[in-house]
Structure 1
Amino acid sequence: MTSTSKSDTEAATAVQPAAAAESGSTELVTSELITDEGRTVVADVVVEKIASIAAREITGVHRMGSGAARALGAVRERIPGARAATGPGVSVEVGERQAAVDLALVMEYGAEVGDLSRAVRANVIGSIERMTSLEVTEVNINILDVFVPGDEEEPADPRVR
């Protein structure tokens, strides 16, 4: 005979945010992060990392963030006590039950912006909701540039030698 605890039952019957949105359901979404047994807090950095990895998994995304953001991140890593950049091109707002994501990326030449945006958005939402149980309210995507193979980024020649 198998025993089922109250929290197991709650988790099994909780409506996942993505599933509720896909089915058009208007049911109240139950959070697995706040229960009678306690509260789980998901740090912004966790959601940032998940979003960054999920976006980069999509074919057509060349990189996240601009060159300036990556350069700033490299400088920040060298400053003692500074918070390390989790990934350029990603910022999030995380609440108790919801998260919002802003992405900035460089796409590969030949990718279609609409298809790329839909694929990135779906993968980011699915990954965050599956891993954290947070409902993702929005994913805003800013396409910064198009990467063209052969136009490799080379450091600019210094004006003064």
Structure 2
Amino acid sequence: MDTSTIVEHQGDLGAVRIVPEVISIIAGLAASDVPGVAGMSGSLMGGIAEIFKKNPSKGVKAEVGEREVAIDIFLVVEYGVRIPDVAGQVQAAVKNAVESMTGMTVVEVNVHVQGVVFPQAETRNEEPQPPRVR
């Protein structure tokens, strides 16, 4: 790994190094906790390729500097939510989580909505209907 991309904080007791992958994981977890977010999209291209829930860094691209970070998040929302509201909540949650956990300044959180997930049809446990014709 290129060590120039590792965020390093020097303190009295030694150095703390934060790998950019950690910032992506923090951002992904914060975004997926926002109501209305169905999941993170692993594709940076248009459309929904796959929704990743096992690896929270999928669907997150973090550009890391010495003291600042810019984040792009690619997500899928649930049908029926107001997308600008969900995107604003994602931006706030990601900014807060990354800044509080890493001490870095988040200069951008760009939300890219890749698709919409529709609710699954509920299976009804009804009694079978007798045939209408014989």
Matching of residue 48 in structure 1 with residue 29 in structure 2: no
Deviations 1:22-52 (A, max 9, x none): xxxxxxxxxx935576553321111010000
The answer to whether the 8 Å contact 1:47/1:92 transfers is yes
Matches of 2:101 and 2:22 in 1, distance apart? 10
Q: Of residues 91, 106, 119 in structure 1, which corresponds to 2:61?
A: 91
Distance of aligned partners of 1:46 and 1:106 in 2 relative to their CA distance in 1, 3 Å threshold: same
- For residues 51 and 24 of structure 2, the distance between their equivalents in structure 1, rounded to whole angstroms, comes to 15
Partner of 2:49: 68
* Greater percentage in helix: 1
Normalising by structure 1, report the TM-score: 0.59
Q: CA RMSD in A?
A: 2.5
Matched, 1:101 2:71: yes
Query: Is this contact kept in 1: 2:27–2:94, CA < 8 A?
Result: yes
Cα distance in 1 between the residues matched to 2:21 and 2:72:
13
Out of 137, 143, 146, the position equivalent to 2:116 is 146
- 4+ residue runs of structure 1 moved beyond 6 angstroms? none
1: CA distance, partners of 2:65 / 2:27: 16
> What is the count of residue pairs matched by the alignment?
108
The 3-state SS of whatever aligns with 1:68 is coil
Q: Secondary structure at the residue paired with 2:109? A: strand
Give the unaligned 5+ runs of structure 1.
1-31, 75-84, 152-161
Which ranges in structure 2 are unaligned for 5 or more consecutive residues? 1-7, 43-47, 122-134
Give the conservation status (yes or no) of the 8 Å contact 1:69–1:88: no
Q: Give the share of equivalent positions with the same residue, in percent.
A: 36
Kindly report which structure 2 residues correspond to 1:1-161, keeping only aligned pairs within 5 A, or say none: 33-34=9-10, 39-66=15-42, 67-68=48-49, 87-150=57-120
